[in-house]
Structure 1
Amino acid sequence: MFDAAVRLYDSFTSWLFQSAVQPALYALGMMEWAEDAFSWMDFFVFGFVQVLVVYAICRPLEAWRPVEHWDDRRVVGTDVAYTLLARLGVLPLMAFVILAGVQAQVAGWIADLGWVAPNLETLVPGLEGRPFLAFLFYILILDFGEYWRHRLQHSLPWWWALHSIHHAQEKMTFWTDDRNHVIDDMIAALWFGGLALLIGVPPGQFPLIVLVLRVAESLSHANVRLSFGQVGERLLVSPRFHRLHHGVLSAGEEGRNFAVLFPVWDMIFRTGDFRRDVFPRTGDPEAPAELVRGGWWRQQVAGTRRLWRALRGPAVG
């Protein structure tokens, strides 16, 4: 299943590059950029697939049974801009340019050491020859890492200075998932990608894992009155479960319901709130106006200033 999906995706990107991108580069006399252009196109196509799948799943749900109705949706438009920039725009290119050199150096250093990352199929013999079961285990481990990254975002003052942009939204929709500071997004990419490398996630499965978590996170932010029931709420994060995390009484260090996909981590570490049929108002009462109603650039600047103040610590007076 995984190999077939990867082959289909690779066939499409190869066709798109050969039929559209490569001729354009040739006409412009820029064939020396062909390899970089293919990498960028791959970013764009995969991002487009993510946005398309998320919209197809979440938008009908929000139209079916919304928690809230708003006349003014301008701040939601800001979240749409976040998604388009993060998935289709300049941010993946920035991350690629900044991290490509680091990745090459790390890969060379690992190769010089002769170290080959283990994977679950070799560490757990029962998983050998069972790629779907191994896929689920990879997701479980990565989700555990995401739970702790999320807790640290709330518990470390400098990280909360960045993450507070995400929690300032009072009109939460599935677009809100991408409402993050650029620095926060880069830290998250390093955290997630580093853990995936450490546990040996196969390259063919990594994009599918990203897609699964992307859909789950967007759904959990959706403006939909949806609960998975008393049992289901303990198996998968629902929009109701995560809305409690975004509630006005759950902002900052006193957060709860940190899980991204599996609530079991909140159950184990006693950070879960499983009250049923509770859909609180979202937002951070302490967030300044620019984080609540500002545009993308204004929020990025405000987040950077808050980060600087947090790193400097309280003023001595």
Structure 2
Amino acid sequence: MFDPVIRLYDAFTSWLFQNAVQPALYAAGMMEWADDAFSWMDFFIFGLLQVSVVYAVCRPLEAWRPVERWDDRRVVWTDVAYTLLARLGLLPLMAFVILAGVQAQVAGWIADAGWVAPNLETLIPALETRPLLAFALYILILDFGEYWRHRLQHSIPWWWALHSIHHAQEKMTFWTDDRNHVIDDMIAALWFGGLALLIGVPPGQFPLIVVILRVAESLSHANVRLSFGRVGERLLVSPRFHRLHHGVLSAGEEGRNFAVLFPFWDMLFRTGDFRRDVFPRTGDPEASADLVRGGWWRQQVEGTRRLWRALRGARAA
């Protein structure tokens, strides 16, 4: 059922490369970069798709019923810069350059060992005729991994030093989802991609899973007075549910509502707060001015300093 979507996307990227990117490379005498350029273009198109879908879903909701209204939105524009850098610009290129060699090395080790990643359809043959159920189970397992990554971000001091950039935002919007330190983003990419590889997520389904989780995370950060009701709040993470996580009383190690997509994990591990009609002020009272009001670069520098201090403190202890 996913094949038509995959074929449509592949056809579009191939057409764009052949009719725009490849001629430009040829004219510039840079055809030796063709393979890398195709990979980079795929990064860009997929990122543009994510941003477009998120904006189409979340922006009307924020305009409809915002929790807060602000005259000064400069710090929100910083979060927009985070999103564009993370999804369209510099950061995917950095990740590609840094991680491509590592990925090739790991792939070589795996091939030499003769190991083939299992998948759910192999472990549970009945799923071969139930692709939607298999797809849902992949999302469930990955969401479980994201829940624990999020908890560790709050419980490990050096990781919180990075993640605190995310929680410093006092004017939270759907753009805030990408407000992260670059090191934190790379750890997250390795965590998520590594788990997907371990459980054998089919390559054709992986991008769709990324888009679903991306939209869910952005919606949960949206500045909208929206809950899913007593039952719905226990099925899917809502903006109200996640706003409690970003509330000023939930920063640091005393966090709650860590789930990304399914609140079930917070229910299972007793970290859920299901108070209804509660939309607290967001931010971290202990965050420095650079983390709260600084631009992208200032926040990255301050986050790195906090990381260094946390690591030095851990060694001293």
Partner residue in 2 for 1:163: 163
TM-score (norm 2): 0.99
Q: Relative to structure 1, is the Cα distance of residues 11 and 315 closer, same or farther in structure 2, using a 3 angstrom cutoff? A: closer
Aligned AA (1:151) = R
Closer, same or farther: CA 22–131 of 1 in aligned 2, 3 Å: same
User: Does residue 1:55 correspond to 2:38, yes or no?
Assistant: no
TM-score (norm 1): 0.99
Deviation, 1:316, is: 6.5
Distance 2:25 2:313 in 1: 50
Aligned to 1:237: 237
The answer on 1:134 being equivalent to 2:159 is no
- In structure 2, the residue matched to 1:196 is 196
Distance 2:86 2:316 in 1: 38
Deviation at 1:133, TM superposition (A): 1.1
Match of 2:7 in 1: 7
The aligned counterpart of 1:68 is 68
Q: Distance in 2 between matches of 1:193 and 1:130?
A: 24
Q: Which runs of 5+ in 2 are unaligned?
A: none
Q: How far did 1:38 drift? A: 0.1
**1:129 offset after TM fit, Å?**
2.2
Change (3 A) 1:314 1:98: closer
What displacement does 1:130 show? 1.7
Q: Which residue does 1:301 correspond to in 2?
A: 301
1:178 aligned partner: 178
Post-superposition shift, 1:165?
A: 0.1
Residues paired across the two proteins, number = 317
Alignment deviations for residues 244-290 of structure 1 (CA, whole Å, 9 cap, x no partner): 00000000000000000000000000000000000000000000000
Q: In the TM superposition, what whole-angstrom CA distance separates every residue of 1:129-179 from its partner, at most 9, and x where no partner exists?
A: 221111100000000000000000000000000000000000000000000
Code of the residue aligned with 2:119 in structure 1: it is: N
Residues 133, 90 of structure 1: CA spacing in aligned structure 2 closer, same or farther, 3 A cutoff?
same
SS at match of 1:305: helix
Q: Does 1:214 align with 2:214?
A: yes
Distance in 2, Cα, partners of 1:191 & 1:45: 23
- Local SS of the residue matching 1:43: helix
Tell me the alpha carbon deviations over residues 205-253 of structure 1, each in whole angstroms, 9 at most, x when there is no partner.
Answer: 0000000000000000000000000000000000000000000000000
- How much has 1:3 moved relative to structure 2? 0.7
Aligned mates of 2:224, 2:8 — CA distance in 1: 33
Following superposition, the deviation at residue 124 of structure 1 comes to 1.1
- SS of the residue aligned with 1:249? helix
**Counterpart position of 2:290:** 290
Distance 2:8 2:153 in 1: 37
Matched residue type, 2:198: L
Aligned residue type for 2:255 = G
How far does residue 315 in structure 1 lie from its aligned partner after superposition?
9.2
1:29 CA drift (Å): 0.1
Which 4+ stretches in 1 moved above 2 angstroms?
A: 314-317
Partners of 1:19 and 1:103 lie apart in 2 by 30
Structure 2 distance, partners of 1:303, 1:170, is 17
Which amino acid in the other structure matches residue 251 of structure 2?
A
Runs of 5+ unmatched residues, structure 1: none
Question: Is the alpha carbon distance of 1:103 and 1:316 closer, same or farther for their aligned partners in structure 2, counting shifts above 3 Å?
Answer: closer
1:150 paired residue number: 150
CA distance in 2, matches of 1:57, 1:145: 25
Task: Tell me the distance in 2 between the aligned counterparts of 1:5 and 1:182.
Answer: 31
**2:129 partner SS:** coil
Q: Deviations over 1:74-116 (max 9, x none)?
A: 0000000000000000100100010000000100100011000
C-alpha displacement of 1:125:
1.8
